[in-house]
């Protein structure tokens, strides 16, 4: 009897894995037919057809009409991720502010809302702001729509094994069970029981770029987020690199200048102290001085050069509030990268700005939920 139960469990796991493989294949190559999918993922056409029917009924997939081409015979019906029925919530937890978006499975923003919280209060004040904002945005769902996951982008390292925010340096939070606190706050609400996933803000922003517009030409993808701090997320082969303790990507504390300005971490010359928003602040609150922006751009170029050498990314994406400075910052970044590339007689890395702009973290958090739901065994 036990062997039969184990066999049944194994079959259920295999079926779930096949379902998710089919979904992820259509993320990368939308519009494939059942025959195409069977060849691509190594299953029989009958198995793919049965799985596709289930996924269509549940709201994951949709069939679309085939354009008439003049070819003789029955034309295969293309399948796509359904952008209308199953939805994702993504929340950016910033320093004193919260941003929540409701997205489709393919990344379209359907609704959004922001809120603030007092950083001088305990973490529960932040949890309350996140909870209220999530519920307000979720209320915009239609009757035929269903939220299947909630993602959080947090301003610090996250340990998935212990489900904790390990350290948020700008908020002075240590070992906070953020996920458990939010699940408890949502208990008894319309979002009660919805799976909650959390990760560092730069990591989720990287996932947003790779999950919602996947391209083999942008793998590995490195995203560098520049705001009050500096962080990075790296996606390789569809997998997010998080490190042994969830602290991978803390590039803001790579030292770029020996005996440089004091950083919030206590060291000197860190990237954050040379590039982050505090490096650009003026004493009287005015816009950053052009010379300070240009110098920050040069240091950012040095940081990207070091990361390019370390990871050889196919694409580097820049995100965060600092990107709003435009060419004043990006010009020196590109010039520095070009200078290093020419000196080594190598092509300079492909560089672009995040396609989601100010919503890169919130949209990325929604992408995190989709990523975890379709790749539950991956870190």
177: number of Cβ within 10 Å: 14
Q: Under a CB-based contact definition with an 8 Å cutoff, are residues 203 and 240 in contact?
A: yes
Give the model's pLDDT for residue 71. Answer: 56
Reference 252, options 266, 235, 231; nearest CA is 231
Query: From the CA atom positions of the chain, what is the Rg in Å?
Result: 22
**306-329 pLDDT tens trace:** 999 999 999 999 999 899 999 999
Same domain, 138 and 37: no
Tell me the three-class secondary structure of 244-300, residue by residue: CCCCCCCHHHCECCCCCCECCCCCECEHHHHHCHHHHCCCCCCCCCHHHHHHHHHHH
Tell me the three-class secondary structure of 141-165, residue by residue: CCCCCEEEEEEEEECCEEECCCCEE
Q: Which residue has the tokens 């359904």?
A: 82
d(CA 81, CA 59): 9
Determine, yes or no, domain membership for 3. no
The total domain count for the chain is: 3
Give the residue from 59, 81, 103 where a domain finishes. 81
Give the residue from 49, 81, 113 where a domain finishes. 81
CATH number of the domain at 53, please: 1.10.10.10
Determine, yes or no, domain membership for 5. no
**33-60 pLDDT tens trace:** 999 999 999 999 999 999 999 999 999 9
Note the helical H segments in 285-356. 290-311, 327-344
In the chain the beta strands, taken as DSSP E runs, fall at 61-63, 79-81, 86-93, 97-104, 109-116, 146-154, 157-159, 164-168, 173-176, 196-200, 221-226, 230-236, 239-240, 315-319, 351-353
The mean pLDDT value for 144-161 works out to: 92
Where residue 2 falls among pLDDT bands split at 50, 70, 90? very low
296-326 in b/e form (b: 16+ CB < 10 A) is bbbbbbbbbbebbeebebbbbbbbbebbebe
Determine, yes or no, domain membership for 237. yes
Determine, yes or no, domain membership for 245. yes
Instruction: Tell me: pLDDT of 96 over 80.
Output: yes
Same domain, 128 and 242: no
| pLDDT, the chain, mean | 90
Determine, yes or no, domain membership for 239. yes
Tell me the three state secondary structure of residue 379: coil
Same domain, 221 and 341: yes
Instruction: Tell me: pLDDT of 3 over 50.
Output: no
Same domain, 100 and 179: yes
Same domain, 52 and 70: yes
* pTM exceeds 0.95: no
Same domain, 244 and 334: yes
**183-207 pLDDT tens trace:** 999 999 999 999 999 999 999 999 9
Structure tokens given for 50: 């049965």
Structure tokens given for 233: 């997320």
Reference 155, options 203, 121, 208; nearest CA is 203
Same domain, 101 and 120: yes
Reference 248, options 235, 237, 266; nearest CA is 235
d(CA 111, CA 141): 9
Same domain, 236 and 344: yes
Instruction: Tell me: pLDDT of 9 over 80.
Output: no
Structure tokens given for 18: 């096949």
d(CA 49, CA 269): 58
Where residue 61 falls among pLDDT bands split at 50, 70, 90? very high
Where residue 377 falls among pLDDT bands split at 50, 70, 90? low
Same domain, 116 and 242: no
Same domain, 251 and 350: yes
Give the model's pLDDT for residue 283. Answer: 65
Q: Which residue has the tokens 């790779």?
A: 210
Same domain, 219 and 342: yes
Determine, yes or no, domain membership for 75. yes
CATH number of the domain at 339, please: 3.30.420.40
363: number of Cβ within 10 Å: 33
Give the residue from 81, 96, 119 where a domain finishes. 81
Torsion from C-alpha of 255, 257, 260, 265, nearest 10 degrees: -10
Determine, yes or no, domain membership for 310. yes
Write out the residue range of the structural domain in which residue 113 sits.
86-204+361-374
Same domain, 166 and 55: no
């Amino acid at each position: 009897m036990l062997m039969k139960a184990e066999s049944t469990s194994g079959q259920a796991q295999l079926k779930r894995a096949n379902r998710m493989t089919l979904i992820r294949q259509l993320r990368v190559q939308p519009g494939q037919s059942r025959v195409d999918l069977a060849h691509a993922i190594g299953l029989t056409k009958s198995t793919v057809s049965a799985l596709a029917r289930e996924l269509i009924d549940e709201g994951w997939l949709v069939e679309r009409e085939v354009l008439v081409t003049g070819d003789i015979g029955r034309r295969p019906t293309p399948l796509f991720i359904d952008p209308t029925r199953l939805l994702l919530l993504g929340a950016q937890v910033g320093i004193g502010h919260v941003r929540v978006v409701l997205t489709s499975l393919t990344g379209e923003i359907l609704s959004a809302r922001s809120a603030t919280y007092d950083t001088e209060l305990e973490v529960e004040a932040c949890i309350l702001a996140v909870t209220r904002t999530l519920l307000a945005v979720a209320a915009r769902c239609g009757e035929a729509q269903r939220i299947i996951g909630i993602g959080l982008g947090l301003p610090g390292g996250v340990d998935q094994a212990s489900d904790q925010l390990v350290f948020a340096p700008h908020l002075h939070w240590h070992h906070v069970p953020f996920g458990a606190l939010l699940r408890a706050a949502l208990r008894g609400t319309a979002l009660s029981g919805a799976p909650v996933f959390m990760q560092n803000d730069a990591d989720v922003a990287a996932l947003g770029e790779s999950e919602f517009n996947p391209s083999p030409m942008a793998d590995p993808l490195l995203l560098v987020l520049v705001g009050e701090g500096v962080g990075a997320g790296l996606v390789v082969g569809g997998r997010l690199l998080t490190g042994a303790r969830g602290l991978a990507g803390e590039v803001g504390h790579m030292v770029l200048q020996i005996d440089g300005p004091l950083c919030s971490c206590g060291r000197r010359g860190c990237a954050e102290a040379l590039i982050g928003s505090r490096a650009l602040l003026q004493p009287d609150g005015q816009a950053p001085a052009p010379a300070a922006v240009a110098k920050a751009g040069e240091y950012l170029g040095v940081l990207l050069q070091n990361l390019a050498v370390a990871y050889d990314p196919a694409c580097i994406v820049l995100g965060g509030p600092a990107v709003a400075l435009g060419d004043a910052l990006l010009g020196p970044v590109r010039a520095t990268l070009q200078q290093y590339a020419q000196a080594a007689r190598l092509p300079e890395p492909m560089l672009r700005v995040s396609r989601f702009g100010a919503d890169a973290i919130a949209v990325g958090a929604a992408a995190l939920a989709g990523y975890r739901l379709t790749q539950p065994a991956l870190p």
